[in-house]
Amino acid sequence: MNKNGKALIVALTVVEVILALIVFNVLNKPAIAPWIKYLSVFGIVAAGLAADAAILAANRASAVSDAKRLRDADDYLRAFHAWLEEDTPFAEHIKIAIRQLESLKRKQAALRSVLDDSKDSPFFSVAQEVDSYILANSRRILNRVMIYDQNEPHKFNMHVAYLQEILGQNAHVLSDFENLILEVSQIGDDAADASTPMLTELTNALRQVRTNDDPQWGQEPEQLRQDGPGGMMQM
């Protein structure tokens, strides 16, 4: 469970205790039967426990990973952070996925700043494709983390290979996206309507990777091979 969920449970527990004491003192009169006082306090405690259970259930990694809740990078970041609270052997891969999503958000913000929110620019169209691609891969990572059965350790290496492949694809896309932003930043005032070699290259690369035409995208990037699971590029 994340820090916000824990803080909420602590706050609710304090409120429950205070409310129970208030109710008990209000009802602590000779004219009121003792069983009514205790039943009232029990009802407050029971309601509090039910609320805590609901919060715990809502914050479980499997709950926040529900596909219906995952719409943008922030949703996926919450899901990945929730899985880091679970007993998963893929923590390092999840941390890389988190850094990639954070990198994606920074790059998107940088592009918007360079283009001054010129929504008709072809660069924004490619940026949306990059966003959709990274989020789709984030969904694949979550699915693989969720379906892994720790009672089947012989399948662990297969899952690791798959996660490394997906993370490697993300790294290549983010690297090309960064190069595109650098080119755009050097164009000047006409950036919104311009075209660059990197724009064509990234557009083609996204098209190829979606149809599995380019084997390069299925390979582990050189930096990831050298530095291990934590050695991803950031921007």
CA distances from 87 to 5, 37, 53, 91, 144 (A): 18, 43, 20, 9, 14
224 within 8 A of 171, measured Cβ to Cβ: yes
Separation between Cα atoms, residue 184 and residue 5, nearest integer Å: 41
Which pLDDT belongs to residue 215? Answer: 42
97 within 8 A of 167, measured Cβ to Cβ: yes
Average pLDDT for residues 57-63, to the nearest whole number?
54
Helical packing angle, 122-147 and 73-84, nearest 10°: 20
pLDDT, tens digit (0-9, with 9 covering 90-100), for 103-115 = 999 999 998 888 7
- Dihedral, CA of residue 67, residue 158, residue 103 and residue 82, to nearest 10: 50
The number of beta carbons lying within 10 Å of the beta carbon of residue 137 is 21
CA distances from 196 to 101, 115, 190 (A): 25, 14, 12
Which pLDDT belongs to residue 233? Answer: 37
Structural domain spans, the chain: 3-59, 67-227
pLDDT, tens digit (0-9, with 9 covering 90-100), for 86-109 = 889 999 999 999 999 999 999 999
pLDDT, tens digit (0-9, with 9 covering 90-100), for 20-55 = 677 667 666 666 667 676 677 677 677 766 665 555
Task: Give residue 18's identity as a one-letter amino acid code.
Answer: I
Average pLDDT over all residues of the chain? 75
Average pLDDT for residues 115-125, to the nearest whole number?
71
> Is 0.85 topped by the overall pTM?
no
Separation between Cα atoms, residue 227 and residue 190, nearest integer Å: 39
